[in-house]
Amino acid sequence: MKGKLAFVLGAGVGYVLGTRAGRAQFEKIKGWASDAWHDPRVQSTVDDLESKAAGFAKDQGAALKDKAVDAVKSAVSRSSDDADATNAPTTPVAPITTPPAGTTPTTPATPPGA
């Protein structure tokens, strides 16, 4: 959604800056947008949505707060686990050896140190 809004704003700015009558056209578009925003049908829809959002926030506020706190705690614990893992000693790895000439290399059944 932010990408679409940024595109529309960028296109509008480019249009205004790129046309000779840009300022006049901008004022015309701005007037249309203002008329649309102040239309009683739009405002009634906005008021309805605001009241629904406020009601939802009152009803679900505590549950949403608890979920947010849990999400932050798990993210913090994961990042501290990652930091611990980077400081942990590494597992020893067996050195790579080359078989003598004329022989077939073999793979051990279990890796050394396992």
* Residue 114 placed within a domain: no
* Residue 6 placed within a domain: no
In total, how many domains does the chain have? 1
* Residue 4 placed within a domain: no
> How far is Cα 4 from Cα 23, in angstroms, rounded to an integer?
23
- Predicted model pTM: 0.38
* Residue 41 placed within a domain: yes
Give the structural domain span for 74: 12-78
| Percent of the residues in the chain that have a pLDDT greater than 90, as a whole number | 23
Q: Write down the H helix ranges in the chain.
A: 2-18, 22-37, 40-87
Contact criterion met (CB below 8 Å) for 99 and 105 = yes
* Residue 95 placed within a domain: no
Which DSSP letter does residue 94 get?
A: P
Q: What angle do CA 11, 13, 19 make, to 5 degrees?
A: 95
Over residues 33-87, the pLDDT tens digits come to: 999 999 999 999 999 999 999 998 888 888 888 888 999 999 888 877 665 555 5
* Residue 93 placed within a domain: no
